[in-house]
A and B are shown apart, each in its own frame.
Chain A
Amino acid sequence: MAIMISIPAGVVANQESTLNLTENLGNTITQTEASINQTLTQIDCSLTPSFAGFGFGNGNFTRGQFGGGGDFNSGQFGGGFTPSEFGAGPFGGGGTNAMNESLYSDIGSIQGVAAVEPILQVSEGHNVTTERFGRTFTRLMPDYVIEGIPLTSDLVDNYPILPSNITAGRNLQAGDSGVVLLSENNTRFFGAGVGDKIDILGQTFTVIGVHGASGVEDRQTLYMNLSDAQSLTNNVGYITSLEVFADNAADVNNVASSISSLHPELSVNTAQQRLDQLQALQTSYNNALENAEASVGQMQTTAFGEIVVAVAATSLIVFFVMLYTVRERTKEIGTLKAIGFSNGTVMSQFMLEGVLLSLIAGVVGIIIGVVAAPVLSGLLLPPLTQFGGAGTFMRASAFAPSAAITVTPELMLIVLGAAVLLGALGSLYPAWRASRTKPAEAMRYE
């Protein structure tokens, strides 16, 4: 009985958790959209990632394509899709292919180009192994993302290449070297604050400031001088993407066409294109959200139905068990009455037995539920693709905490309360019948 009640309740609770996750993603999209609107002159250029076709299609979620504000690769989707996990070559990640910086120096001379910002982005993390349903899953948990940006006075002073939200210390400045700008997450990971010296891949850097993330995309990103990042990660002369700034918003499409003509191997995205992609993605998320809501509603209806059936079944079981017990113990009831037990005492004794019986069943049910719930969660939760438009981000969130049914203390109390109530309900009539048994007739019963 307890299991029957706890499982649908657990499903509903976790479905709501999934719904919250989806809503959070929608909020992130909105934040990123706002960020992109501010940089309409910006064009992202990167090589098509080597893992094209997996999950995110053409690498839509890589740092290189979303530039300053558009990195969806770390942490956001519960891991499983991190740059270094899919990275190529000497970079150990980044979500894009390595680009030889010198091959793209001609972009700066294209008409309408105001500035070019070469970027190197490398993720560092550690593998985490989990066991579910008897299978072992390994995924890379990112610790931090190093982003090297050229700290020239032209770029720093005139273009939005640095984080805007500084919460401690100061921002990077033109000419800075040997210093890093940490995110708040980074400060916890390194256990360091402004002015402290930290060790990154064997080299010492001074924390110059702390930036508050503008969205989930840069929560784990630490910024430093491009040349520092290149030498630190043994990638001298290599970058992972380019940010191209047009003279004005009207020239953006022409400049993008010119870059594509000059370097057809590059994936070129304007801010407008990114915005369109994001809007399409947002539509996809909205659809997913609606699906999730519909699914939750359906699950709630199903769960409610199951609970009603469980309650009815439990009451009936207790009812028949107690009725049988009363019949079997008719002579005992007669004896109790003969030795002076009142109707009320007899009735309360049988009611108490019914409640205790149900309570013991509830405790056993909870114990089984605690053991069985994690296994059953995999069977009862709806297919994950139901939430992701094209089997996209939900793949990464497959092992997010929200996907597991847990038997909470509140749920245990509800189950025990229900057990007491149903035990009392089911034994009410049998106990009443026992109390009304005529002692003389009961004594004759064999």
Chain B
Amino acid sequence: MSETVLELEKLSKSYSLGKRDVQALSNLNLHVNKGEFVAIMGPSGSGKTTLLNILGCLDKPTGGKVLLDGVDVGNLSEKELYKIRSSKIGFVFQTFNLLPYLNARENVELPMEGTKKSKSERRRRASELLEMVGLSGREEHRPQRLSAGEQQRVAIARALANDPAIILADEPTGNLDSKNKHEIVRLLADLNINQGTTIIMVTHDSHIASQTERLLFLNDGKITKEKQGFHLAKKKFTCPYCGIKIQLGDAVCPSCKKKL
């Protein structure tokens, strides 16, 4: 039986808007197993970001339970929550949210600041992660010198810095062009398959969502539909230049040596 990494029990969240209460999430139940790649879709205002904020311990529910690795995070203090955010969760944002005055490596090192890792360990880990997301040699570049796709790669490397149990991606392809969009999804799928990282991704793009293995449809704060996707990592790929079979993670065709 698969190990549960995230469990929601009758999760509710309401806001006060003047004298009116707005129910953002209502009685949500959800199990996410370790190593799953889940996409959440839904129209604007359906509660996607609210759900992601609660899953990421950035916000607290007004009802129900959120169990992350078996721990009910709804009852944790602010101090315990930042430790959870630091060690168990990695965030990827639509607008990347890199610090403009830090270079790529320093941005990736940032989540490791409060950990016991030494400066050299942090540096080495950041370089490894940047290499893993295909940004080897771009460590010293500041965000403004990187393309949107490269910035999102840095953000993914930053999310992986503390080896989190789960990555929460809030429309990670929302600000990218078509080519970069697919590269980022391919990178996330590769992480999911090869690193075993659990990923929950909010997206508006049905094509992108269909490339995950599980799709949740959210409407008016409730999960209205759930279906299996076609996991990108399990798809058969061929090189567009020479036509031979290639792996998902291949950046260069092993046959014709062209950049994919």
Interface string of B135-156 (1 = CB under 8 A from A): 0000000000000000000000
Which residues from B are CB-within-8-Å of A211?
Answer: none
Contacts of A345 in B (CB 8 A): 113-114
Interface: B246 (CB within 8 A)? no
Tell me if A341 counts as interface (CB < 8 A to partner B).
Answer: yes
A440 within 8 A of B: yes
- Nearest-CB distance from B117 to chain A (Å)? 13
CB <8 Å contact, A339 and B58 = no
Residue from A331, A338, A342 in contact with B91 in the complex, judged by beta carbons closer than 8 Å: A338
Chain B residues in 8 Å Cβ range of A342: 79, 82, 114
Contacting residues, chain B, for A340 (C-beta < 8 A): 82-83, 85-87, 111, 114, 162
Q: Mark B44-77, 1 if CB is under 8 A from A, else 0.
A: 0000000001001011000000000000000000
| B110 touches A (CB below 8 Å) | yes
Are B158 and A338 interface neighbours, CB within 8 A?
A: no
Q: Are A339 and B85 in contact (CB under 8 A)?
A: yes
Interface centre among A340, A342, A345, A438 (most CB of B within 10 A): A340
Which residues on the B side are within 8 Å of A331 (C-beta)?
Answer: 97
Q: Is there a chain A Cβ closer than 8 Å to B22's Cβ?
A: no
How far apart are A332's CB and chain B's nearest CB, in angstroms? Answer: 6
Q: In the complex, how many angstroms separate the beta carbon of A356 from the nearest chain B beta carbon?
A: 13
Q: CA–CA, A339 to B91, complex, Å?
A: 7
Please, how many angstroms separate the alpha-carbon atoms of A337 and B85 in the complex? 8
Report yes or no: B93 in contact with A337, Cβ–Cβ below 8 A: no
Interface string of B80-105 (1 = CB under 8 A from A): 00110111000101000101000000
Q: Is A112 an interface residue (CB 8 A)?
A: no
Question: How many angstroms from the CA of A334 to the CA of B113 in the assembled complex?
Answer: 16
CA distance A137 to B53 in the complex (A): 76
Instruction: Fill in one digit per residue for A143-167: 1 if any B CB lies within 8 Å of its CB, else 0.
Output: 0000000000000000000000000
Interface string of A317-350 (1 = CB under 8 A from B): 0000000000000011011111111110100000
**Which A residues are closer than 8 A to B by beta carbons?**
331-332, 334-343, 345, 438-440, 443
A-B pairs, top 7 by smallest CB distance, nearest first, are A340-B86, A440-B59, A335-B97, A439-B58, A339-B111, A440-B58, A440-B53
What are 7 inter-chain pairs, A to B, with CB distance below 8 A? A337-B82, A339-B86, A339-B158, A339-B159, A341-B82, A341-B86, A438-B59
Sample of 20 more A-B contacts, CB < 8 Å, known A339-B158, A339-B159, A341-B82: A332-B99, A334-B58, A335-B91, A337-B85, A338-B56, A338-B91, A338-B97, A339-B85, A339-B86, A339-B110, A339-B161, A340-B83, A340-B87, A340-B114, A341-B113, A342-B82, A345-B113, A438-B59, A439-B53, A440-B59
